[in-house]
Amino acid sequence: MKITISGTPGTGKTEISKKLSERLGWKLISVNDLAEQLKAYSGEDKKRKVKILDMKKIKTYFEKIKENVIIEGHASHEISCDIAIVLRCNPEVLEKRLKEKYPTNLDKIKENFDAEILGVITSEAVEFNKKVYEIDTSEKGIEQNVDDVLNIIDGRTIEYEVGRIDWLEKYEDRLLK
């Protein structure tokens, strides 16, 4: 089984994926680490000062994997998998997390704040995968979020269906200001 853990930066992907890997005993692969290892880049985004991932090369790598694996990273939702999980976070909570993570990059904070309000990652995930679920990480600890992922794996998915988390109405006045 292949499970992807994606979401806007600051939603908890890395820590939740690490703990999930420990609990399941499954291999964990970071998309960013894999891209570095494979030199899977197609260019550079000069404005954001980041390398652009070569998703074709990355997807080809994952097509060959037959074992149980957790695939973690901001772009992991683009990889074909059995279950795609998008971590979501209340934009006000996310903004605080991002200010700690990127204290001098206000553009990055704003871009990710807006992306979370709009549900950009979820919208993209449903283009690439049939089984997509969302978990709100705003107020829960890592263990509780891992329990939510395990519920999804076990087929208890109703409360995690796409569309139940919607920040737009509450925060639309803060978009693109």
Distance CA 147, CA 109 (A): 28
Q: Which helix (H) or strand (E) holds 95?
A: helix 91-101
Strands 69-72 and 2-7: parallel
Superfamily of domain 2-89+120-166: P-loop containing nucleotide triphosphate hydrolases (3.40.50.300)
Work out the average pLDDT over 145-164.
97
Query: Could you give the count of Cα atoms lying within 13 Å of 170 in the half-sphere of its Cβ?
Result: 9
- The pLDDT of residue 87 is above 90: yes
- The pLDDT value given to residue 22: 98
- The pLDDT of residue 141 is above 90: yes
- The pLDDT of residue 88 is above 70: yes
Domain boundaries, the chain: 2-89+120-166
Q: Where are the alpha helices (DSSP H) in 4-52?
A: 13-24, 31-38
pTM of the model: 0.95
Closest by CA to 121, choosing from 85, 173, 80, 160, is: 85
177 pLDDT band (50/70/90 cuts)?
low
